[in-house]
Amino acid sequence: MKRRVVVTGLGAITPIGNTVDEMWNGVKSGKCGIDLITRFDTSDCKVKIAGEVKANIEELIDKRAAKRMDRFSQFAVIASKEAYKNSGLEDAEYEPNRFGVLISSGIGGLATIEREHSRALEKGSDRISPFFVPMNIVNLASGNVAIELGAHGMCSCVVTACAGGTNALGDAFRHIRDGYAEIMVAGGAEAAITPLGMGGFTSMKALCESNDPSRASIPFDAERSGFVMGEGAGSLILEEYKHAKKRGANIIGEIVGYGATCDAHHITAPCPDGMGAAAAMTQAMEDAGITSDKIGYINAHGTATPLNDSIETTAIKLAFGDHAKALAVSSTKSMTGHMLGASGAVEAIVTVMAVSEGFLPPTINHMVADPECDLDVVPNIGRKADLEYAMSNSLGFGGHNASVVFKKIKE
């Protein structure tokens, strides 16, 4: 018999808030976290805006430890510590060997790579920092979190580009459901607002080149022209239901379904027929044991690239049929920008909160309707709704598709 898996803790650091409460309040108010880049000189760059985290890292994490971590790992530790505290596990008894970590990143320590490469060119390769490798490799987000929290169970990472945060969450869900752990920290972290990161995405024409924050990250809008880079992290504490109940945990929601597929079509472009993404959504609903009409809200991948939004709309129509017309489908990337491997985790948190509080997050700065994106995108202003089930979608370069389903908790 499959075990129930619930969400007992949430943590986030994002362009619209440095805690879950701050972020969720930002979502409800339709806050835009996109502004001019401050982390490096953009004088020679076409793209001058992004969704930066606005925080003093040294106030949120041990100063000495922070110096041995890339920014993406710092974000992961900050978000995971908040989720752990939020869950009440600090004062609980549990088996550390049954407590695991699964955190994704799409790119890892890009800022560290850039800095140490410059040092090597200037001073020679023998002058590279001894912390270079452990700072930049992608699995060290999970590793640092495990060290911080004393988690001795499975510690791994998922690297599936922009689907990574959702894949990490889904894989952690299965790990608990199938009996391998009682507790998992699952999520994603990213910090790619660097000259190389921004330059690479600009060169491949993936980024919006408008430097007006109110008309840049505009998912489902007919004038969309690319995504806006974001950064941050999201972490969720997943826990086996009986384990959570026994210790009197505050249960925020239940994760009930997960689907993962591949387009097997193109290295960056989604498949035009939307079949791969639709299959992931269908798998997630079948895994949850529900029919499509039970889903009331989808937090869409919704990147604001011309192809993604129209093809995701097609995929939703394929997966949901006539019920697609009754769905609320919004993109909170309109507020945060696209946080790559962290997006799925942060958006899962938003989806859990949407179900818990009965609120539909808006797609902000939506001005020009696109007939190819003709679903209810909750334009500009969020609204109340009684939700029993909701879904979060993530689609990544390489054709990766991932969907998770959350349920309003019923004891």
Instruction: Render pLDDT for 133-165 as a digit per residue (tens, 0 to 9).
Output: 999 999 999 999 999 999 999 999 999 999 999
CA distance 284 to 163: 14
User: Backbone dihedral region of 337: left (phi > 0), alpha (psi from -120 to 50 degrees) or beta?
Assistant: left
Q: What percent of the chain has pLDDT over 90?
A: 97
Given the residues 175, 243, 338, 366, select the one marked as catalytic.
Answer: 338
Go through 241-251 and write b for each residue having 16 or more CB atoms within 10 A of its CB, e for each that does not: bebbeebebeb
Across the chain, what does the average pLDDT equal?
A: 97
* 411 has a pLDDT exceeding 70: no
* pLDDT at 289 > cutoff 70: yes
Is the pLDDT at 1 greater than 80? The verdict is no
Q: What number is the average pLDDT over the span 240-258?
A: 98
Annotated active-site residue in 157, 162, 208, 271: 162
pLDDT of residue 148: 96
**Does the annotation mark 323 as catalytic?**
no
Domains defined for the chain, CATH in brackets: 5-246 (3.40.47.10), 259-407 (3.40.47.10)
Give the separation between CA 102 and CA 294, rounded to whole angstroms. Answer: 29
Provide the β-strand partners of residue 376.
328
Sort strands 183-190 and 383-384 into parallel, antiparallel or unpaired: unpaired
pLDDT tens for each residue of 19-39: 999 999 999 999 999 999 999
Taking the model in full, what pTM does it have?
0.97
Torsion, Cα 129 66 113 125, to 10 degrees, reads 0
* Residues 157, 245: Cα–Cα separation, whole Å: 28
**Bridge partners, 34 (sequence order):** none
Let me know if 162 is a catalytic residue.
Answer: yes
Three-class SS of residue 315? helix
Q: Please say if the pLDDT value at position 384 is more than 70.
A: yes
Is 208 one of the annotated active-site residues of the chain?
no
327-342 burial by CB neighbour count: b if 16+ within 10 A, else e? bbbbbbbbbbbbbbbb
Question: What would the pLDDT profile of 34-92 be if each residue is shown by its tens digit?
Answer: 999 999 999 999 999 999 999 999 899 988 889 999 999 999 999 999 999 999 999 99
